[in-house]
């Protein structure tokens, strides 16, 4: 993880929904895939953690996963999105979001509270998305 992410996590002190640990774990999992991570802050709306791989971009899809921290009056929650055609959702925990990820159809998982089963499930989706991204880069 880069210093921007550490600084963001350090500054995140109010977490009534207790989703900060999951966001940190997702950032670690993304970095563990070899992803380059970029934090994009839209003050008062969302903070987006964008995962891509170093090197030339794979066509129109410059990233393979996105984890948004959504600002909400009841406390921040997470929305983790992948391209819909790059991941499965066997437990049907996600939502199909037309044009939800850089104007392409997405599969998004909203997390509003801790759930011990969600990290392994999202890690499996992350692995699928990373694999799909790297497969597209091969000649």
Domain 3-137 class in CATH: alpha beta
* DSSP assignment of the chain: --HHHHHHHHH----TT--HHHHHHHHHHHHHTT-EEEEEEETTTEEEEEEE-SSS-BTTB--SEEEEEE--TT--EEEEEEEGGG---TT--SEEEEEEETTEEEEEEEE-S--TTHHHHHHHHHHHHHHHHHHHH--
Whole-model pTM: value is: 0.93
Ranges of each domain in the chain? 3-137
Which tops the pLDDT comparison, 136 or 58? 136
pLDDT in tens, 13-32: 999 999 999 999 999 999 99
pLDDT band at 59 (very low <50, low <70, confident <90, very high): low
pLDDT in tens, 90-138: 999 999 999 999 999 999 999 999 999 999 999 999 999 999 987 875 3
- Taking residue 25's Cβ as centre, other Cβ atoms within 10 Å add up to 14
- Taking residue 123's Cβ as centre, other Cβ atoms within 10 Å add up to 17
Mean pLDDT of the chain: 93
Q: What is the pLDDT of residue 87?
A: 98
Average pLDDT over every residue of 63-82: 97
Q: What is the pLDDT of residue 54?
A: 75
- Taking residue 28's Cβ as centre, other Cβ atoms within 10 Å add up to 13
Residue for token pair 């055609």: 85
């Amino acid at each position: 993880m880069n210093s921007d992410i550490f600084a963001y996590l350090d500054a995140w002190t109010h977490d009534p929904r207790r989703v900060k640990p999951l966001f940190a774990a997702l950032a670690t999992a993304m970095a563990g895939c070899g992803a380059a991570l970029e934090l994009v802050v839209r003050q008062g709306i969302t903070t987006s953690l964008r995962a891509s791989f170093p090197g030339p971009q794979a066509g129109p899809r410059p990233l393979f996963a996105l984890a948004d921290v959504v600002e909400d009056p009841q406390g921040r929650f997470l929305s983790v999105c992948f391209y819909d055609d790059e991941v499965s959702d066997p437990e049907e925990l996600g939502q199909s979001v037309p044009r939800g990820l850089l104007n392409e159809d997405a599969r998004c998982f909203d997390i509003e509270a801790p759930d011990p089963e969600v990290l392994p499930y999202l890690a499996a989706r992350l692995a699928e998305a990373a694999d799909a991204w790297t497969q597209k880069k091969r000649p």
